[in-house]
Structure 1
């Protein structure tokens, strides 16, 4: 990746109720000038479900702004009107960087920090509430335009206007577009799953997912992640 990728927006969120429900979320993030990046994420950035969002393997969320024009064409009004930078709760807003450009395990310098790509995002049912579309999570999953997460290798301040500088690429043959294809399209590719299970730079939960598919020869159930508990009503 030879391009110069500048952080156009840096965003953090506070907890609030999602779409009139009792579900707490930090997806509605606001722009800030700078923040300290620790092992679990940006200072003062909050998540409503810390079991599945945030933490060491999901410290920073990045969504490609390049996808918003496509989403505005595909989604009905008023959901399409939400498709502006920040709509998916991303911490980093950039242009010119997508899942095809970023590889599993990529290490970047960003401001004072060093970060590493850990996994693509696995869309969940909260997006259905966020966009008021019952199957928004599945739509995003099927599009393979999900965004991705970083873990933090070196703590430090990062700021709006900082540049992502690629320092190491241990798996140039594993762009996140390929990871996503294995997760949701070519789901039982034995060779690919074996590689993913052994890829130490990939997040532990995705390595375990690959191992489970190899052991059971079955794809895990996505329904609860995509559509939530039965008590969630839109």
Structure 2
């Protein structure tokens, strides 16, 4: 299983139009080779590293196919839905949340990266596009893209293949992850399978464990 990274994006921290809060969501396409370190693309920056960036959210991948899902709901800003606009580092013309799994390990150029969690959409999406409700829509539909941690630093460029080299024995797709997140009372066995999935971000594992503990202590 592989696809092509069609574009790579990076950017500097700047003021969000309208309110001046710092943001790294505005990124530009990068030509040529980029260096990937343990905290992401070396020439990239994040404004609030509590929620973006760092070892567990080093690289953000957003499939270009997901932009088409926004257009029927927000036709008045359809022209804004182009690769790079939601703040991603990698764009591909294939794959969605149904196609990738927590714990997947990929080769990209000379780097090795691991999918460890979905992106959690925040206020910056609405602010970046100048519309109310897009952040909520992204969360409800579970189409926020996903994060990688870096297992082995390296270099890559647009046009390189993103190739799956390892998948957990009992994989949980990102679509299953979002389904569990939206479920009122998910099945404990399904939660346990997610919790046990190698590669899941530690803070997400802790949160799911807390939910499972509560469910078991409060049967219907």
TM superposition score normalised by structure 1: 0.87
Aligned-residue offset at 1:74? 1.7
Could you tell me how far 1:68 is from its partner in structure 2? 1.3
SS in 2 for 1:69: helix
CA 211–179 in structure 1, closer or farther in 2 if over 3 Å, else same:
same
Where 1:216 maps in the other structure, the secondary structure is: helix
CA distance in 2, matches of 1:129, 1:185: 28
Asked if structure 2 preserves the Cα contact closer than 8 Å seen for 1:112 and 1:156, the reply is: yes
Corresponding position: 1:215 with 2:213: yes
2:160 maps to 162
- Specify every segment of 5 or more residues in structure 1 that has no aligned partner in the other structure, as ranges: 219-234
**Pairing of 1:181-220 with structure 2 (within 5 A):** 181-185=179-183, 188-217=186-215
Sort the Cα spacing of 1:213 and 1:135 in 2 relative to 1 into closer, same or farther, 3 A.
same
Q: Secondary structure at the match of 2:71?
A: helix
The size of the alignment, in residue pairs, is 215
CA distance in 1, matches of 2:62, 2:102: 15
Preserved contact between residue 5 and residue 158 of structure 2 (Cα < 8 Å): yes
Deviation at 1:185, TM superposition (A): 3.4
Specify whether residues 211 and 114 from structure 1 end up closer, same or farther in structure 2 by C-alpha distance, changes over 3 A only: same
- Name the residue aligned to 2:6: 8
> Equivalent residue for 1:222?
none
Aligned partners of 1:105 and 1:169 also within 8 Å: yes
Match of 1:29 in 2: 27
Report the alpha carbon displacement of residue 86 of structure 1 after superposing the two structures with TM. 0.8
Distance (whole Å) between structure 2 residues aligned to residue 64 and residue 104 of structure 1 = 16
Counterparts in 2 of 1:212 and 1:55: CA distance versus 1, 3 Å: same
Unaligned residue ranges in structure 2 (runs of 5+): none
Q: Distance in 2 between matches of 1:176 and 1:119?
A: 8
